[in-house]
Amino acid sequence: MLIALLALAASTAPGDIAGLWRTPVNDGVVRIAPCGAQICGRVVGSARLTAEPGQNDARNHDPALRGRAIKGLLVLQLKPVGPRKWGQGFVYNPGDGGTYKASAQLTEEGRLRVTGCIAAPLCRTQVWTRAR
């Protein structure tokens, strides 16, 4: 029984998805890393950032946050909720300035399915792939 609990704990550890992930929008790259008991994703780069490196979070719904740099911006924060699953957190979309309830699941193929919801069933899923 103890071995099964240790295996479950290891399979839901934040490090399971740590690393660089490519998003399907603007050829974005997000670095996912442990942050306490959670995982956090920060923008590393994108095609738009390569063209315009000084971009700010201009579309944020909160005017006080619009001066933040896109590079390094926290865009994902989730807790482990099961084997290869994370949730109870948020995903932020700099493209529309919205923050959404989020979950993520690591597929058998090694892809990350990231889902953001205004409220179920108003959800949208992106499939992220490991960046090299």
In tens digits, the chain (132 residues) has pLDDT values of 333 333 334 444 444 899 999 999 888 999 999 999 999 999 999 999 999 999 999 999 999 999 999 999 999 999 999 999 999 999 999 999 999 999 999 999 999 999 999 988 999 999 999 998
Range of the domain at 60: 14-130
Lookup: tokens for 116: 């953001």
35 assigned to some structural domain: yes
Domains of the chain: total: 1
5 assigned to some structural domain: no
65 assigned to some structural domain: yes
- List the CATH number of the domain containing 108: 2.40.128.520
Whole-angstrom distance, CA of residue 102 vs CA of residue 40: 12
107 assigned to some structural domain: yes
Whole-angstrom distance, CA of residue 54 vs CA of residue 71: 8
90 assigned to some structural domain: yes
